[in-house]
Amino acid sequence: MGNVQAQVGRVGTIGRRNVEVVKYLGEGGSSFIFLVKDTGTSQSLVLKRLVANDAMSMELITNEIEFHRRFKYPSIVEFVDHQIHKGRSESEVFLLMEFCPGGHLYDNMKKMGDKRFSVEELAKTFRALCVPVQYLHRQEPPVAHRDIKLENFLKSKSGAYKLCDFGSCVEGPRHLTTKVRPVSIEYQEDRRTEIDIVEKRTTAMYRSPELADIEGTAMFGNAVLTEAVDIWALGCVLYTMAFFKPPFPPEGLRTSKYSIPTGHGYGKDVPELLKRMLCEDVDERANIDEVLACCDAVLASQPLPKRGSVAKSTSRPGSGSNSRTNSADKAALVGNVDGDFPPSSAAMDLLAAAAPAPVTPHSGGGFADFEDFGKCTVSTPAFDPFAPTTPSPIPATPLGLTGNNPTAKVVDSFGFLVSPTNATVAGGGKQSEARDGFQAFEDCSPKAPTWAQGSYGNFP
């Protein structure tokens, strides 16, 4: 972790902002996350540094930045600016975004201990999570987020949760069904690409049946992929908020059946809403407007609207709901030193404590020199962020870890995987499996280290 810690105290330019690195927050498969301060306004922001080493990575990153720039909505983490350095064989990209100091929902739920949401608290909080999803689904064409999960809802300074991580977003339906055998090479290539994206940029336990391989059927089954995948994922979120455990295993669906714990105290409405959202039939699954109407009914102590009675609204809420990014906007992306980017990021605890004393800057280690940002210098970093050469400190016994199996999947008290890449496990050895689990990150609070993935992004 020495190279990244050495960036603390450095000053550089990201787009139109001059920032100083205040604290190293965490890392992921291809990124490092820093708390920075705008030197002109003293505003706290998050800086995400990523590397793209092939054309596909850059295309996905460009797609994410286009979506994030376009979504200007109160309950979406604000996009601030970006900067890119093009090297000979790879590009470094730096993304500035709003800092949400309240942490993500999964981490905040763990801090509740034995406490549980009341019916009103559950409906009110969950409704707030659905609002930004409604904003995406009301775009024209509709936008599917495709990586809705507890870790992608961050608590802002005001206390409101905001949606982040748009690296998996797509517009409109994806006609990648296996119902009819593909006949064209282009179709097969598109489908292979989509499978790769789904596997790397979505989280297994939140994948809907049409995204998952259920009971040996081919991925995507017979369904066209639409924004309905987000409704299923929101159903998984609601289930976990209500019962403090996920409805499906960390490795994803093997069956679409789930069970409601007895004696839960939520009456009939919460199980009924879950039934409408965790519906295998896409055509029968509730839309986002019906989900919100059900939340409103619970809060008003009224009966839920009849199933299928709430038609999807075509009106678009708020500002910034333009359709596709126009050519002028796309051209602007290239303005910041060929700017494009941010594919997902690592998990981190955003409850950052006071910044440590600045470390004397140095130019070693291959990490981009913040002092050179404004000069747009071309560099080829020797440091490979994909190689696990500088992992964050990891406790000897992670949450939920038992035994000394160096390849065992570790599950925490919620039933979530918590096994980070290269984590030291009890009894020695290294943890080797973390694809859909949670990456380790440095806990910035005096409490014991926390485990999570997804804050400001998701990594394969």
**Counting Cβ atoms within 10 Å, is residue 2 exposed (0-12), middle (13-18) or buried (19+)?**
exposed
Indicate whether 182 and 120 sit together in one domain: yes
Q: CA distances (Å), 401 to each of 104, 409, 411, 414, 418, in order?
A: 22, 9, 7, 13, 9
Indicate whether 363 and 421 sit together in one domain: no
The residues pairing with 84 across neighbouring beta strands, listed in sequence order, are 93
| Domain assignment present for 88 | yes
Indicate whether 271 and 125 sit together in one domain: yes
Element (H, E) at 66: helix 55-70
Task: Please give the average pLDDT of every successive group of 10 residues along the chain, which has 460 residues.
Answer: 77 94 81 92 93 84 89 97 85 92 95 96 98 97 95 95 92 61 56 70 87 54 80 98 95 85 95 97 95 98 93 60 40 37 30 31 34 35 32 32 39 41 36 31 32 39
What is the model's pLDDT at position 46? 95
Domain total in the chain: 3
162 labelled as ligand-binding?
Answer: no
| Domain assignment present for 48 | yes
Q: Which domain holds residue 84?
A: 2-100+327-375
What is the model's pLDDT at position 28? 60
Indicate whether 235 and 157 sit together in one domain: yes
Check if the beta carbon of residue 235 is closer than 8 Å to that of residue 249.
no
Q: Give ∠ CA 278-282-288 in degrees, rounded to 5.
A: 70
| Domain assignment present for 20 | yes
Q: List the CATH number of the domain containing 83.
A: 1.10.510.10
Q: Give the pTM.
A: 0.69
For residues 241 and 341, what is the distance between their CA atoms, to the nearest angstrom? 32
3-state helix, strand, coil in the chain (%, to 5): 25, 15, 60
Indicate whether 403 and 332 sit together in one domain: no
Indicate whether 288 and 434 sit together in one domain: no
Indicate whether 159 and 275 sit together in one domain: yes
Alpha-carbon dihedral angle through residues 397, 398, 404, 410, given to the nearest 10 degrees: 170
| Domain assignment present for 136 | yes
Task: List the one residue out of 132, 77, 109 whose CA is nearest residue 345.
Answer: 77
Q: Give ∠ CA 134-137-143 in degrees, rounded to 5.
A: 135
For residues 229 and 210, what is the distance between their CA atoms, to the nearest angstrom? 8
Question: Which tokens belong to 438?
Answer: 């949670």
Indicate whether 132 and 60 sit together in one domain: no
Q: Give CB contacts under 8 A, 24+ apart, made by 18-23.
A: 19/45, 19/47, 19/96, 21/47, 21/370, 22/355, 23/352, 23/355, 23/356, 23/444
Indicate whether 346 and 272 sit together in one domain: no
Check if the beta carbon of residue 166 is closer than 8 Å to that of residue 68.
yes
Indicate whether 263 and 203 sit together in one domain: yes
Indicate whether 92 and 109 sit together in one domain: no
| Domain assignment present for 316 | no
| Domain assignment present for 234 | yes
Check if the beta carbon of residue 117 is closer than 8 Å to that of residue 289.
no
| Domain assignment present for 458 | no
Indicate whether 51 and 18 sit together in one domain: yes
What is the model's pLDDT at position 210? 85
Q: Could you tell me which residues come within 8 angstroms of residue 41 by beta carbon, excluding any fewer than 6 positions away?
A: none
CA atoms within 13 A on the CB side of 37: 14
According to the 3-state scheme, what is the secondary structure of 31-52? EEEEEEEECCCCCEEEEEEEEE
| Domain assignment present for 306 | no
Check if the beta carbon of residue 14 is closer than 8 Å to that of residue 94.
yes
